[in-house]
Structure 1
Amino acid sequence: MDLDHFAGLLSSQLRRPAVPVDQQLATLKRLSFRFTPELEAHFQSHPESYEDPAYLSLLCRLAQDEPDQALVTVPESPSPDTMYQDLLQGLSALTDGAVALSGGELSPAADGRRTLTFTLNGEACQYEAQDLGGWLDMGLLTHLNGLLAEREEKKRFLTVEDIRLPGQLVFFRSAQWAGFFAAATNLDAREA
């Protein structure tokens, strides 16, 4: 990404207007997100905490309380030995049983790479991850999407990146849903 493109992206992300919590909730419900009455009451009792940045704060809290709907990745892990296991477990939870991911063992580093072994719906798989120390190689999501495409799965792991997020928001939805999401929220959900 060149510097001009990055500056334009940053500027557009920082200029998004605040959106009332009621409007955000209604929009996200139309996009098939579910909220417990308690969580909805929490959002409405603290609207100033969730109106700006619009949708991001609310979705991050939803990911914390309802990890089967959204995941917030943390790019740097305090426990590098289990970071991929934790990520695969979180991604598996997003799929509502459609995709079973487990494992996440890393081979010793060699030439700046580590082999990640895991299972996808019971089938042994590998990913050649960059050895980034305690940082995740998020190219794993692209690799997983490729494996899902080979298996003719219609849904993919979609990510939202924003300057105000420490990592990425991740969803398991269709490309068509990503278009609706972007139009409704002004957040760009892309296939990883």
Structure 2
Amino acid sequence: MKRNLLNFALFSILFFCSGATAAETITITTYYPSPCGSYDELRARKIAIGDNYFNTSSYTWGIQVSAEADLVVEGRVGIGTASPVAKLEVKGGHGDSQIRLFSDQYSQGIGGVNTANLNLWASEPGWTWTGAGIGNNVINTSAGGLTRVNTSRGGSYCLDSRRQLCYTNFSGVKYLGIGAMFS
């Protein structure tokens, strides 16, 4: 009897421990009516996509994402806002609302940073642009009273609401005399 009880206890321990080591599928069951009142959303603090993993020693997510990983969003994506009104909306303060696209292939640029950056940002405080702008490797500085312009790296090119191409640098705005035609 003691031997059977010992075998049963050993089998139970092995059976329950094996389930904790192999988690391959997560099943989410919905209940109606929902006890919390939410029927159309799933909230998570962090989500790993592809081969990302949570490193418990440093409490960070890995950045290795498989080239085959997809994230499909049908609707709107909001960063810094819970209710985006555009397909992609980034909301924040003046200095932290950048969208930055860059190549991680090259790391030997000026100061060891990548040199092929595209930065989009909100209008400067006190300056209003109703057009579109593309920075020319511009970094944050206060030269000449206009932030986001570094005199050693050029300036920014802007297409204003009058469809005029402008160049801004530490000395201000210069119209390049190039108009754009839109239909």
Q: What TM-score results when the alignment is normalised by the length of structure 2?
A: 0.24
Structure 1 or 2: larger helix share? 1
Bigger Rg over Cα: 2
Q: What TM-score results when the alignment is normalised by the length of structure 1?
A: 0.23
Q: Larger relative contact order (C-alpha < 8 A, sep ≥ 6)?
A: 1
